[in-house]
Amino acid sequence: MTVESSPVQEQRGARIRAVLLRQDVLLLVVFIAMIAFFSILNPRFFSAAAAANILQDFSPVMLMAIGQAFVILSGGIDLSVGAVLGLSGVTTAMIIRDQSANGSDPGVAIALGLIAGVVVGALVGLVNGLLITYGRLAPFIATLATMGAAAGITLVVTGGVQIAGAPRELILLGNTTYLGLFTIPVMVVIVIAALAWLYVSRSKFGRWTYAIGSNSFAARGAGINVRRHLLKIYVISGVLAALAGAFVYFRLGSGSPLSGRGGELNAIAAVVVGGIALTGGIGRLSGVILGSLIITAVLSGLIIIGVEPNWQQVVIGALIAVAVGIQGIGSFKGRTL
Amino acid sequence: MKSATRLLAVTAALAASALVLGGCAAAEPTGPDGSKKYTIAFIPGIASDPFFKAMEVGAREAADDLGIELIWQGSASDYSPQTQIPFVDAALAQQVDALILVPTDPDSLQASVTKAEAAGIPVITVDTTVTEQDYLTSHITGDNVDGGRQAAITLAEQIGGKGKVFIQSGSPSATTNTLREEGFRDELEANYPDIEIVGREYSNSQPANATSAINTILLNEPDLAGIFAIDGTSGTGAIAALKNSGKVGDVKLIGYDAYAAQVEALQEGVFSALIVQQPGEEAKLALEYALAQLTGEGKDDIEKTVVIKNIVMTKDNFDETGQYEYVE
């Protein structure tokens, strides 16, 4: 878009408009409006306790959304994250249960459990990456297959039964709030989100991801090892989903084989609401952070103002439709970093 | 080479007939005393739920005792007629001697019962049932409405007959859940006018949903007196929410089903009571009735409907009720 020699004021006006129509600014406005709306209808919504609850719901969704953002930016999609959350969660739960039963120190048990869960997530991510790069399967198909396999393995391994046996320390770790708002897992997630935001926008890794998402042929031509990069991306997605699984387990004190079901849809919704195009190569992580916040906060808000459970799903669906519609108005296309 | 072709044909025919005859012989497993061993298919609502796991343990034990060949097959993770019907069809195609079924939907599974009737295969329903029960040999169930009612009575007692309570249900479509809720609400409405139900949310198989919902309700109603967690997933979520907010003991929690994890929580004092079914007993009785129907022995003792009573398990009466903990 070339700008003819126009008065300074017109330029400034256009710049302000451009800022206001940015997806993440729009989302911030929506988020604030939503908080105001719920708080007016029920002042209890505007409290530390409500915020703490929302942050705990937000954590696993944010982690999976970050992984999903990387994947979708690169032009792919990862449907297996919900199942990975479940599988890694129960893996962590089982290791911690067995270690505690053998009398290990709780810190050691928790560390081992986390490592085991993350390894499982990384492995599934690796399988996804290999199927897509060397197996030449479409990401949708490959991750659909691993989703089924992971969900099945979770049920086989647990026998459908929840895994109990968590030590006291673990439940404290998952639930003690600092400043009335943040648990340790929530703080970890916030740090990871910040790091991801910087990484996506300012690193070579981030730029390569956008490049591959925009045009993978050109990217390869420019010398990027597309295969290796995609492998890393899917492994990251798996690792983040595994971490989400561990944190859900910490919050509940019990590993449920059905946790995470449908999680991939929440992650994709957060990414789409956040302004990342499903075709790849376009979007910001800041939008994804706000998208995740909005999706989790709206559910809590609807409960607090007493909306019937069945209507909650309708509202969320409408929200996603509106958010994507706004994306069109904001003419987001073309902006990358 | 005509003779070679003929030799080949004869050999093939001999091999085929050998297979068929051998197959016929193998298809008739014999019991310990040489009599026919019956094959019975047991199709649960969902294979991965602890309630049905406990039922499976009871079923296998009973099958061993009675000398029955048991086929236990069900959907791995979906409680729905779409995933259940293929298993039922497969069992009927295999021409099992009897079918024991936990219908995931009373109308959708009716066709399968009709198919079984056409094939002359006796059918028994357990836990849930189908709309037309004329053909059924028997229907064995725990009473979910009664369970809800018992939960209401126990909770009312524990909170002193007045206060605010909340219902955390599992799924809006599972009849077990809706019947328990019905029993709970009816009992409170009829006999406890001073108890107010402040809300009801669904977990939809995710404990985290229950935790979140209950945290939110506790926020809204700081003087909440009691919670009824209708299924195991809701129970798990409720435990986390109460521990989280330090309300263990202040808020009375009634749960359903005696899985090991829930019994443990009962002992810790997080649950104030558990409504316990007897899935193993239901399975055992179903197999006994099926065998009676097939052999004719004891056929007159078969009752068309059997309701197995629920047990209210608390820390205080654990000496007597502990035995009803579900085997895993």
Q: Is residue A251 within 8 angstroms of chain B, CB to CB?
A: yes
- Does the pLDDT at position A188 exceed 70? yes
pLDDT digits (tens, 9 = 90+) for A250-301: 988 888 888 888 889 889 989 988 888 888 888 888 889 999 999 889 888 8
The Cα B139–Cα B128 span in angstroms is: 8
Beta-carbon count within 10 A of A312 CB? 17
pLDDT of residue A3: 53
Residue A307 Cα, gap to closest chain B Cα (Å): 10
Helix extents (H) in chain A: 8-20, 23-41, 48-73, 81-101, 106-133, 139-158, 168-175, 184-202, 204-214, 216-221, 226-252, 263-273, 285-304, 309-329
* pLDDT string in tens for chain B (328-residue length): 466 676 666 666 665 555 554 444 444 455 455 567 899 999 998 887 778 888 999 999 999 999 999 999 988 777 778 889 989 999 998 889 999 999 888 888 888 999 999 999 999 999 888 888 889 999 998 889 999 999 999 999 999 999 999 999 988 877 788 899 999 999 999 999 999 999 999 988 788 999 999 999 998 899 999 999 998 889 999 999 998 888 898 999 999 998 888 898 999 999 999 999 999 999 999 999 999 999 988 888 888 899 998 999 999 999 888 888 887 7
Identify from B60, B196, B236, B248 which residue to disrupt to test chain A contact, counting A C-beta atoms within 10 A and taking the largest count.
B236
Is A16 part of any domain? no
Domain span at residue A95 reads 48-329
Is A129 part of any domain? yes
Q: Per the CB < 8 Å rule, is B236 touching A162?
A: yes
Is A135 part of any domain? yes
Share of chain A above pLDDT 70, in %: 92
pLDDT of residue B27: 46
pLDDT digits (tens, 9 = 90+) for A191-239: 999 999 988 888 999 999 999 999 989 999 998 999 999 999 999 999 9
Question: What's the distance, CA A298 to chain centroid?
Answer: 16
Interacting residues of A184 by C-beta distance below 8 A, sequence separation 6+: A173, A174, A176, A178
Lowest mean pLDDT among A32-36, A95-99, A104-108: A104-108
Q: What is the mean pLDDT of chain A?
A: 87
Q: Is residue A56 within 8 angstroms of chain B, CB to CB?
A: yes
The DSSP annotation for B186-198 comes to: HHHHHH-TTEEEE
Q: Is residue B208 within 8 angstroms of chain A, CB to CB?
A: yes
Is A336 part of any domain? no
The residue with greater pLDDT, A305 or B291, is B291
Residue A278 Cα, gap to closest chain B Cα (Å): 28
Is A29 part of any domain? no
Q: Is residue A49 within 8 angstroms of chain B, CB to CB?
A: yes
Nearest-Cα residue of chain A relative to residue B211: A252
Lookup: tokens for B214 = 């209950």
CATH classification of the domain holding A153? 1.10.3470
User: Domains along chain B?
Assistant: 39-136+279-308 (3.40.50.2300), 144-276 (3.40.50.2300)
pLDDT digits (tens, 9 = 90+) for B159-173: 999 999 999 998 887
Burial category of A42 from C-beta neighbours within 10 Å (exposed 0-12, middle 13-18, buried 19 and up):
middle
Cα-Cα-Cα-Cα torsion A11, A16, A20, A22, nearest 10 degrees, comes to: 50
User: Which of A43, A163, A41, A34 is closest to A98 using CA atoms?
Assistant: A163
- Does the pLDDT at position A337 exceed 60? no
pLDDT of residue A159: 79
Q: Measure CB to CB from residue B215 to each of A53, A253, A256 and give the nearest one.
A: A53
Burial category of A190 from C-beta neighbours within 10 Å (exposed 0-12, middle 13-18, buried 19 and up):
middle
Is A34 part of any domain? no
Amino acid at B118: A
Q: Measure CB to CB from residue B212 to each of A57, A159, A257 and give the nearest one.
A: A57
Q: Per the CB < 8 Å rule, is B77 touching A151?
A: yes
Residue A242 — pLDDT band, cuts 50, 70, 90?
A: very high
Is A99 part of any domain? yes
Residue B268 Cα, gap to closest chain A Cα (Å): 12
User: Which of A147, A227, A197, A306 is closest to B166 using CA atoms?
Assistant: A306
Is A30 part of any domain? no
What is the crossing angle of helices A263-273 and A48-73, to 10°? 80
Residue A194 Cα, gap to closest chain B Cα (Å): 25
A68-81: average pLDDT: 95
Q: Per the CB < 8 Å rule, is B240 touching A155?
A: no
Q: Is residue A173 within 8 angstroms of chain B, CB to CB?
A: no
pLDDT of residue B310: 92
Q: Is residue A101 within 8 angstroms of chain B, CB to CB?
A: no
Q: A-chain residues within 8 Å CB-CB of B229?
A: none
Q: Per the CB < 8 Å rule, is B220 touching A304?
A: yes
Split into its structural domains, chain A has a count of 1
Q: Is residue A159 within 8 angstroms of chain B, CB to CB?
A: yes
User: Which of B54, B25, B198 is closest to B126 using CA atoms?
Assistant: B54
The residue with greater pLDDT, A33 or A159, is A33
Q: Per the CB < 8 Å rule, is A258 touching B206?
A: yes
Torsion angles phi and psi, residue B211, rounded to 5? -60, -45
